Amino acid sequence: MRHRKEICSWAESADRSLTASLLLGRNSARAIAKAHLSVLFRLLESDQNAALVEISKVSSFSSRRLLMESFRVTFSLMNEHPDYHILLGDPDLSDRSVARQYDQALLKLLRECNNNKESLSEKLTKYPLKKRNNALKRLEHPEFQRSRRIKLNQKIVYGLSDSQLEHGPLTWWHWIMVTLLLSICALIFIDY
């Protein structure tokens, strides 16, 4: 391990800052715990067992508890592709744009698992229980089922046809010229 000195001082540093952060409130203390865990995972090169050993060295029970509450989420965030970070957050699915992003990430993960829900469920085992349950419930939600269907956006379809008419190789007057030329050729060959 290249960072042995930093790892040795990590437990004491985390304990001091988390004890102080509890005065600011539980939410800010959780955010600080996640930051400490991110540093620890980088130092230990994402070794879960070594991280648990280092967390056990934290002397304060409340600090250890905060670290363990955030352990799985932080570990998953460190090892998961950024496209899936929304699955590990606490998104407000009543907001349409957030729900669409969540559904896109879940759909991408489902496609990686070959549209197999059992395989997806296995992949989600490294997620915290609450996040895993949210993702599995969302699979059955009508909005997600609707987003899985392939739809053609009318704007895209009409936009392509309009752009082809305006900027395509043949505009309307080119078509008139081609039609007239073909009509003249047809009249000439019919007469012979």
Sign of CA dihedral 18, 55, 11, 79: negative
Query: What are all long-range contacts of 64-70, with beta carbons under 8 Å and residues at least 24 apart?
Result: 66/18, 66/22, 66/29, 66/30, 66/33, 67/14, 67/18, 67/33, 67/36, 67/37, 69/30, 69/33, 70/30, 70/33, 70/34, 70/37
Q: 181 vs 166, which has greater pLDDT?
A: 181
pLDDT digits (tens, 9 = 90+) for 122-175: 888 777 778 888 888 888 888 877 777 654 444 444 444 444 445 555 677 788
pLDDT digits (tens, 9 = 90+) for 50-99: 888 888 888 888 888 888 887 777 776 666 677 777 877 778 888 888 88
- Residue 157: the pLDDT is 45
Q: What integer is the mean pLDDT of 3-8?
A: 75
Domain ranges of the chain: 4-79, 83-148, 154-191
